[in-house]
Chains A and B, each alone.
Chain A
């Protein structure tokens, strides 16, 4: 090929420009500590890094969510612990009242203490979190959920339960509504409840209800029935329509078994005394407490005197036990959720480390390689400049 002066100039300039451009690129990589700064340098990588960054930000947000739920659940956990301790006090007071030696004056003083506990319970049920939200209001967190009324308390909240996203596809409830914690509490033993006498015809004997159990769940059909005494030592079992199903002999402290249930009765019932066995229904804790207060205030002067009081207090204790069980259930569920959150927070921490290392492996710079490249490019550029000056010095005109 014939080499002309224009040609060698052109070639020199083109190659110097290419060298300077790649040198500047390497320099840019080193100063930014990133192997690419525009998508064109690594189109697939840029898209992937963007996806990873989104996932990373989302995972970090999930942590924020989890911590927010943790705060709310911790508040609820404390409230539930207090609830259980108040219920224990309530139970002790009920037992004290049921000791049989308490006078009406004593009962009245116990009633005052129960009322105080009722107020504490109300305040617990209306607990607010750091944001001023009522934690037991369901979705209605800005409405005070419970207000006392004559028969217990009115629930102004709803049955909503707020979920918080703590991982992709995983949500955790950051609370429980007041309906579930305070209202939906089964009466009696949780399956059925035994009531002495009826409102219109109270018992006149001294028969009191003791322990009740479901001895054969398969046989229990949930139909109400009554134990009706035909003499102080004999009783009939009547179904809801008053039809006699079977009959038996009564021994004080013995158990009466029917339809898969066992009811312990003691004392001395008289003819026509009756004990109704009905399936449990939901009763608000506040109704239970109010009923207890009413019974204590009435004392032994109500229907069936001391026996009536005894039966009322026994019912209340049963219901308080159910409330305790409910509070404990909810608390263990809260504990479970707090555990889930802790597990998830540690999982997400390792996930984030993973994502960060993925991002670094795509976008991060291999310093050793980059600096070697820089050095190499620098050497090539210096050599090219040197070569130019040498070749440019060659001219025949110099020798003329």
Chain B
């Protein structure tokens, strides 16, 4: 008879617990990381009663949480990828807006610059048009500078965010290790019962961590969790944390890299490819620095073209034109880890072969160097010996080395990275604009033949004899001498090359006809050089002379746009993947209030039934007592 009480009480207790669990679910319906919990009931051990066994009530054997490790892992992986794309996207979008549809105003500035050259060509003696040209050149330089400085600003922002991410990762790692300790202690004390709240918290931390950096986890038998980053670098092992650290880049102290206290200072950038941190490295190496390099490539093309053309002409004072732009500035930075004393100097030898990539020069010992393209990782063939007379040449660069490098010393060569930031207009005096050609050719008035001469073009501004007066005397209709030198035969093309200039004879000269080539001093109305400068708007100079500076800007716009668009697409796709993974986790672990309401009703009714059973047991007992009292009273 006593059984009905025991059973009912066990039921009342169990259902009260169940109602508690349900209330807790309702209370945590919106708690991030909370996993729906359910009570596990089992039949209490039965009692033997003669031949039959009668149950002795209900027992609470545990409270479990609805958790799927597979679904959680899937979400974590997806979050790492999404984190990477989202942080990369934040930079590609900024660059996309920065470059915009006009290359950050560069395209407009270049148009004004070339128009200004045309206006100088239309009116070469006008100081106003020359001044306008200098202003337009300054417009180009400041556009390049401003875009480059904003890109450099993005690089600083990347550094700040790397520091922030590392701090946050370390702090989460610390929390996980603390939870690991608590979980193993609690689990031990409760005889193996899972501490659900702690597990929820830890899973939530791992999930947050996944957004920052890709992680892999392994579980230990004591309930603790090991967390690894990159290619197995330990971050948390049980209660032990190995912190990530930021270190200065070996080539550029302004760039931060990430290392780990267990990695002996080795840079882990290339291993940490996912999560927000991975996105930051990708933004730096795939978006910001390439954009800077490409801008620098345009700046290099522009300044080389403009300055070379200046040197082929005369300014208003009759002097050879001075450079308009500061010259391009390739850099070669030795690694901070170099042990030798070697240093490298880089100059641009061929703009047409110049790329927007960076290169790593490695000393292999015994005078041998290798050059690697850091973008493609490909080896680049080097010629030359690295001396001033015979520099190493490759990719349009000439590299001169000095000092004593040690074997495996490296130098980072950045042909164009800082050119856009450093481009300045160095020509300030409008009269120094070289609008006129350097030389002019004329026919003697006494000539009797039908031959005419063009005014000549400069083919090699560097020729020291360029401005030396020359007389071309025809000793027969097809042979000539220059300044009384050796006789030469007039080619069928009629072109005569000497002293860095070329003139074209048309028609048939008579014997004794003379043509003069001389410095164009006084030719202030000449515009040949200005015409040539204006024509550079469409003149190929980059990519073996196939792409003009303005064409390179269009390519830059398309390149930046494609990258941003590709990242946007990937990010959108990954967001969908992540939503699906997150829905999957929610579906397994989330709280459904309707379900909880139904459960509440169920437990309430069960509780009422158990209470009713107790009442019936009580009334049975009372009946028994009463009947006994009646018999003996």
Contacts and interface: CB of A to CB of B under 8 A. Distances in A.
Interface in B546-573: 550-551, 553-555, 557-565, 568
Which of the four size classes fits the interface of chain B? 35 or more
Interface stretch (B90-98, B296-304, B418-426): B90-98
B449 to A, nearest CB: 10
B598 interface: yes
A43 B562 contact: yes
Interface in A1-41: 1-7, 10-11, 14, 36-41
Interface stretch (A51-59, A228-236, A308-316, A319-327): A51-59
Interface in B506-539: 520, 522-528, 531, 534-535, 537-538
A137 B523 CA distance: 9
Which has the most chain A C-beta neighbours within 10 Å: B118, B447, B586, B601? B586
B440 A158 contact: yes
Contacts of B526: 139, 160, 162
A7 B525 CA distance: 78
Contact of A163 (B110, B527, B592): B527
Contacts of B92: 40
A225 B30 CA distance: 120
B523 A61 contact: no
A2 B592 contact: yes
B215 interface: no
A140 B111 contact: no
Given A38-B96, A131-B125, A159-B443, A6 B551 contact: no
A133 B107 CA distance: 33
Which has the most chain A C-beta neighbours within 10 Å: B99, B561, B568? B561
A139 B100 contact: no
B93 A139 contact: no
Given A47-B561, A68-B123, A141-B524, A158 B442 contact: yes
Nearest to B555: A47
Which has the most chain B C-beta neighbours within 10 Å: A7, A42, A363? A7
B175 to A, nearest CB: 23
A184 interface: yes
Nearest to B31: A6
B139 interface: no
A1 B590 CA distance: 12
A179 B445 CA distance: 8
Contacts of A161: 455
Interface in B578-604: 579, 582-583, 586-594, 597-598, 600-601
B125 A141 contact: yes
A397 B126 contact: no
Contacts of B525: 133-134, 137-142, 160, 162
Contacts of B443: 159
Given A11-B579, A61-B114, A133-B125, A54 B107 contact: yes
A348 interface: no
A54 B110 CA distance: 9
Interface residues of A, number: 68
A139 B575 CA distance: 67
Contacts of B453: 159
Contacts of A42: 561
A39 B561 contact: yes
A10 B583 CA distance: 8
Contacts, number: 225
A126 to B, nearest CB: 14
Contacts of B36: 4
Interface string A118-162: 000000000000011110011111110000000000000011111
B587 A3 contact: yes
Contacts of B445: 179, 183-184, 282, 284
Given A43-B561, A132-B125, A183-B445, A5 B591 contact: yes
A46 interface: yes
Contacts of A3: 587, 592
B119 interface: yes
A64 interface: yes
Nearest to A140: B522
Contacts of B557: 39, 43, 46-47, 50
Contacts of B442: 158-159, 179
Contacts of B593: 5, 395-397
Interface string B439-451: 0111101111000
Nearest to B119: A64
A5 B558 contact: no
A4 B587 contact: yes
Contacts of B579: 10-11, 14
24 contacts: A1-B587, A5-B29, A5-B593, A10-B586, A38-B564, A39-B558, A39-B561, A40-B560, A42-B561, A44-B558, A46-B558, A47-B561, A54-B550, A141-B524, A141-B525, A142-B525, A159-B441, A162-B527, A164-B531, A183-B445, A282-B446, A396-B593, A400-B600, A400-B601
Q: Which 6 A-B pairs have the closest CB atoms?
A: A39-B561, A141-B525, A4-B590, A139-B523, A43-B561, A47-B558
Interface of B: 29-30, 36, 92-93, 96-97, 99-103, 107, 110-111, 114-115, 118-119, 121-126, 436, 440-443, 445-448, 453, 455, 520, 522-528, 531, 534-535, 537-538, 550-551, 553-555, 557-565, 568, 575, 579, 582-583, 586-594, 597-598, 600-601
Interface of A: 1-7, 10-11, 14, 36-44, 46-51, 53-54, 57-58, 61-62, 64-65, 68-69, 131-134, 137-143, 158-165, 168, 171, 179, 183-184, 279, 281-282, 284, 363, 395-397, 400
